[in-house]
Chains A and B, each alone.
Chain A
Amino acid sequence: MVLSVDASSVELNRNKIWNGFKQLLPISMFVMVFAIAFGLAAAQTGLSEASTLLMSSLVFAGAAQFAVLDLWGQHVPVVPLIVTVFAINARHLLMGATLYPWLRELPRAKRYGVMMVVSDANWAMSMQAFSNGKAGMGLLFGGGLALWSAWTLGSWLGLKFGTVIQDPVSLGLDMVMGCFLLAMMLGGQKNPRMLIIWSVAAAASLIAYTYLPENSHVVTGALAGGLLGAVWTEKKA
């Protein structure tokens, strides 16, 4: 990884955004299927059509939205609501931090504007592009727009026609994001040092998953791997 960032890799114009949008379309189709499942679940929980659409378009965080449906009732407790949403979405904090070396090349308004649509898939794809010295900002923003559109449109479809997909798990659709992230991980840098860092991250994540409060495993594992990487640096080329 280089300290200097090539200006072309953070370029953000209409063409780059459209390209990113198109590159994330295939995975967005899978995301839409999950959004349909969410729309159906929201309708069954008793959320109105307007509330479901507002939630999907403003929050745009699938796992957290599903978790909130579990808290739903005539009275929704505020502190568990905030803790649940924050813990599930805390990985966004790490994504923002990892993207910072490239995001800082953008003016502040654009920097935070782009981050509004950051999500697992577009983050993973743009990080892979950036660390190979390629253009990634269009993937991040355009791809984010594709995912957001799919998530919002899918939620609406789920409200209307949700019963079409009754059991997404039996179709393997719950594995879409897992398989996608694994493919991204294996497409990145692989060397003995990184494998050891990954093993430490895996162990920390599993320990946190078993012994620490719910949803803390991602942050714990990622920080463990990151800290090891900071202490045990690569030799400068």
Chain B
Amino acid sequence: MSIDISGFGTLYIILIMAVVTLVTRWGGVFVMSFVPINYRVQQFINAMSGSVLVAVLTPLAVTGDNGARVALLTTAIVMLALRKPLPAITAGILMAALFRQFHVFI
């Protein structure tokens, strides 16, 4: 089944995307409203919140180009040293840009 983009087709596609995305935004909250929040569930949530970030970032670091790796490494070092996110992010992006422009190091 496919949607022809002429006429209202594009509108239908956008509405499908919007509804599916809204289901993901609401679904987690909705399901959790049936789960009693005990200590174990708290621990699950706490461990999962960091793990989401790890799961997003790992393939990025492993399969990305060296520019991506340099960016993440720089962000990590600056963040651990200064504990301030904005300088850490800026430094990471700058390093990625420099690396990709000049391929000067590593």
> Which positions in A face B, CB cutoff 8 Å?
1, 3, 26-27, 30, 47-48, 51, 54-55, 58-61, 64-65, 68, 72-79, 81-82, 85-86, 89-101, 103-104, 111-112, 115-116, 118, 120, 124, 127, 131, 169-176, 178-189, 194, 197-198, 200-202, 204-206, 209, 217-230, 233-234, 236
Contact A201 B42, CB 8 Å, known A89-B21, A179-B92? no
Residue pair A221, B27 in contact (C-beta under 8 Å): no
Q: Which residues of A contact B67 (CB under 8 A)?
A: 172, 175
Q: Which residue of B10, B16, B79 is within 8 Å of A48 (Cβ)?
A: B10
At the interface, is chain A mostly helix, strand, loop or mixed? Answer: helix
Residue of A nearest to B96 (CB): A172
**Of B6, B29, B57, the contact of A181 (CB 8 Å cutoff):** B57
Known: A48-B10, A58-B14, A115-B26. A75 touches B48 (CB 8 A): no
Residue pair A76, B3 in contact (C-beta under 8 Å): yes
Taking a contact as CB atoms under 8 Å apart, the answer to whether A100 and B45 are in contact is yes
Contact B89 A3 (CB under 8 A): no
Q: Is there an interface contact between B53 and A94, defined as CB atoms closer than 8 Å?
A: no
B residues near A227, Cβ cutoff 8 Å: 44
Instruction: List, in ascending order, chain B residues with CB within 8 A of A201's CB.
Output: 50-51, 54-55, 58
Q: Number of B interface residues at 8 Å Cβ cutoff, please give it.
A: 76
Given the interface pairs A54-B14, A100-B28, A183-B85, the reply to whether A78 lies near B55 with Cβ below 8 Å is: no
Measured between beta carbons, the chain A residues less than 8 angstroms from B94 are 172
Task: Please judge, given known A-B contacts A175-B92, A184-B85, whether A78 and B21 are in contact too, CB under 8 Å.
Answer: no
Given contacts A175-B68, A179-B71, A179-B89, contact A94 B14 (CB under 8 A): no
- Assuming the contacts A1-B42, A74-B4, asked whether A59 and B51 have C-beta atoms less than 8 A apart, the reply is no
Given the known A-B contacts A180-B85, A225-B55, are A78 and B25 also in contact in the complex, defined by CB atoms under 8 Å? Answer: no
Rank and list the top 5 A-B pairs by shortest CB-CB distance, nearest first.
A229-B47, A225-B51, A221-B55, A96-B28, A226-B48
